[in-house]
Amino acid sequence: MEDRLNPEARASNPMRRLIPPCLMLWCLAFLTACVPTRVTQDPIRAYVLDLYEGTATMESPHARSSKLPTFLVTVPEPAPGFESPRMIYVKIPYELNSFAASQWVETPARMLAPVIVRKLENSALWSAVVQMPTSVRGDFRLDIDHVALAQEFLQQPSRVRLALRAQLTTIRDPGVIGTRSFEVWEEAPSEDAYGGVLAAQRAVRRLLDELMAWLNRCVHGNQAQPC
């Protein structure tokens, strides 16, 4: 015989009456916990490295002699820890951090490539400046690696450090002419990410001036002096 409660037994069972409301409250609490909380985040601000401030325009190209060498520029390679567009800062020596709401539009190394090409073109020391990869056979090739760009909060005011290594190679008669490491610091006008952006622009201009002077000495200077 089936073991069933009669209607009177079901009506008189208090646990039977309590289960549905308790179950509904438990389900409501569970579903509420599962609904994701909306967190308002600041928009990500993206910045570029550029050689020219404000509305300054690039110099008009000079007449180039065909006797001048053709210059090839490879895409710069980043240093370890600088392979992404993250805007890096340092508060503790050897520890890299990044700003949450600010970043570069591209890795600093890749942003340097067109800037270097423009700087070389404006020098009028080369018949042509070509960014690799290319089928053009040049006379010299510039390789740049270990590019690092960071805002250092190790002192007040904070400073931006830009560093890279450059290697100049002859192509027609293959051989390394010279290799040199460059490193510059520029003080930030404010203790935030945008202050670092402004300092980075100055650091790029200063380092490229040093790089151009070195290249000019290596290619057009006194060959008796080491490059």
pLDDT digits (tens, 9 = 90+) for 65-75: 567 889 999 99
Closest CA to 150 of 108, 202, 190: 108
Distance CA 135, CA 114 (A): 18
Digit-coded pLDDT (tens) for 195-204: 999 999 999 9
Name the pTM for this structure: 0.75
The values of phi and psi at residue 68, to 5°, are -75, 150
The domains of the chain, with CATH numbers, are 66-220 (3.40.50.10610)
Average pLDDT over residues 87-116: 96
Sign of CA dihedral 130, 135, 139, 143: positive
Stronger pLDDT, 51 or 102, i.e. the higher one: 102
- Going by the DSSP 8-state scheme, the letter that residue 149 receives in this structure is E
